[in-house]
Every structure is written in C-alpha cells, then in structure tokens.
A and B are shown apart, each in its own frame.
Chain A
C-alpha cells in the first residue's frame, strides 16, 4: 500500500518535471544612452522580451517588415516571440541602435 502511494507521488513529480522545460521565460533588455543591453539575446518560441527604456527619449524595437514595439521614455515594452529565426531589430527613430534576437523552436 505504502509502496503504491510512493510510486504515484513519484509519477506525479515526473510529469511535473517533464512539463517544466517548456515554461516560457521573460528576457530583459535594457536601453541606456541609445544602446540595447545586451545587444544580442537568445530565446525560444513562447518566451517574452521585455525592453526597459532608461532613456528620457522615445525608442522602438522594430524588425523590418515585422514586429514594432513602441518604448516610451522611461517605460517598458514587451513582445512574445512567436516564430523561430534570427531577427535584427533597430529603433525607428534612431536607426544607429541595433539589436538581435535569435529564437529557437
């Protein structure tokens, strides 16, 4: 009886452990004096990027022909990554600001 119960507990834990790796994460990128930090990040599909704009300037995180996240002065903006690939992004207002997100499946 005792053994059976223990086996059930173990099974439950096993199921929980198997589900854990797919949990989405939030990756933070700060912006300080017109620089994305870190400039390059790696993530997986379903993860979220949070840009923390520490400048008193409005920025964006814009992928040409794709996502366009507005980042108001001293505020944050978020984006859920929905497809795998490597994406270069810039700030529309200051195109000398450059970043890259590599998204694994």
Chain B
C-alpha cells in the first residue's frame, strides 16, 4: 500500500536522478517553467478531488490551502514567463508527472472516508518532499534566469511549508 501511495513521488525521484527522462542534460528554463507549473497544476487537481471527497474538516482546510497557494504561485509563474517572453516547453518530466498524477487520482477515487484522507495526505507529504528535492538539487541550480530562479526559491520555501503542514495533518489523522 505504501509503495502504491508513493508511485508519483517515486516517478519524480526516478525522473530527476541521473539517467532519468532528462538524461544527463540540465533542463532549460522553458522546460523548468513547464515542470514547475505542471507540478502546481497537478496539486491543484488533487486538492479539488480532496475537497469534493473528504468530510474531514482538517483535510479539507489543508486541500483548500493547497488550491489557493498553488493557484497563486502559478499565476505568478505565468506572469513571469509572459514578462520574460518565454514559452514553457512540454517535456518528458512534465508528461510523466501528469501520468503519475492521473494514476494516483484513479487510485484515490476508489477510497472513501478515513482511508481516502490518509492516502491523500500521505501522498501530499511524499509529493511535496520529492518536488522539493527536485527543486533543490536540479531545477533551482539549473535555472539561468535570475527572476525564474528567485521564484523557484520562493516556491521551495512555500512547498517546504506545505510539506510540514501535510506532516502535521498526517500526524493528526493517526
């Protein structure tokens, strides 16, 4: 079960390790922008599923904060790419992230009540942990544009906050 729950996270870990989908090449700024934006969109979709499914006040409040924050950051990201005249470029990492998220969405759709809550929150912990790892070790160091780098750094601080928030909720569910 735990292995299944972290499918998406494992996929990200695999993708960002050397020899993964991006190979040994560092991602370009248009690719980084697309990956970061996609990661945000996927978490917004997961949040919507949780808001529609969960009856737990703490879980719904957590999901609402994910929805709010990721939409806000993605709006900033869109404003930035527009200003920089950069067109986000789809890539294998973005595609794999989307596929893993869809698999997770279907998996969660089969669960109800406390089982759903637990699985959703555990996935949120794992997902943010992996995205943060990717930001720290690959995306931020690879970013060339200073403003993009700065937004990613703020994103990292934000997602680290999300990870801690998710860990608190996970602990409360036990």
Contact = CB atoms under 8 A, between A and B. Distances in A.
A34 B160 CA distance: 11
Contacts of A58: 65, 68-69
Interface in B55-105: 65, 68-69, 72-73, 75-76
B65 A95 contact: no
B158 interface: yes
Contacts of A73: 72
Nearest to B75: A56
Chain B contact-residue range equals 10 to 19
B120 to A, nearest CB: 17
A96 B161 contact: yes
Given A33-B154, A93-B65, A94-B158, A57 B72 contact: yes
Contacts of A97: 161
Contacts of A57: 68-69, 72-73, 158
A91 interface: yes
20 contacts: A33-B157, A34-B154, A34-B157, A57-B68, A57-B69, A57-B72, A57-B73, A57-B158, A58-B68, A73-B72, A92-B165, A93-B65, A94-B157, A94-B158, A94-B162, A94-B164, A95-B165, A95-B168, A96-B157, A97-B161
